[in-house]
Every structure is written in structure tokens, then in C-alpha cells.
Amino acid sequence: MPPSATTVNLTLTRAQAEHLLRLVSIAELALAEHYRTGWLPGGSGDATLMTRYVGAVRDAPSLEHAMRGLGAWVSNQG
């Protein structure tokens, strides 16, 4: 069952926002590779953790709009 929609205000510096965007992009690449090939990380416990995250992402509301807005904000900061 997806979590209820909640709005959170978060104050980030430009550097923090860029870091967050990079982390989300890396996660999206890992998920895309998992969906494409079934790949899971090989470290101890990492595959279990990623499997749990894949399930959570599948059931969660999309962050696409929020991340696009954050990316536009970072770009406008110079």
C-alpha cells in the first residue's frame, strides 16, 4: 500500500541539491539496469536491500515532477 501523500519543505543549498539530483540519477540507472537485466549488487546484504528498494519504488508515487522542478531550480542558480 503506497504511503499517503505528504508535502515536506526542505532547505537545500545549490551544492546539496546537485548532490541529491546525482544520487537520484544513480539510483535510476541502477533500477533501469535491474529491470533490463535482472542485475542485483553482489555485496553482502546489498541484493536484499536493493530488492526491498525496488519494491518500495514500484509502489511509491512518482518523484519525476519534483525532481524536474529541483533540476530547473539548480540550473537557474547559475
- Could you please report the per-residue DSSP string of 3-26? PPP--------HHHHHHHHHHHHH
Report the pLDDT value the prediction gives residue 14, as an integer from 0 to 100: 93
Report the pLDDT value the prediction gives residue 5, as an integer from 0 to 100: 64
Q: Whole-model pTM?
A: 0.70
Q: For each of the chain's 78 residues, which pLDDT tens digit applies?
A: 445 667 778 899 999 999 999 998 988 888 888 889 988 888 888 888 888 888 888 888 888 888 899 999 999 997
| Residue 13 near residue 63, CB atoms below 8 Å | no
Report the pLDDT value the prediction gives residue 1, as an integer from 0 to 100: 41
Q: CA-based angle 69:2:48, to the nearest 5?
A: 95
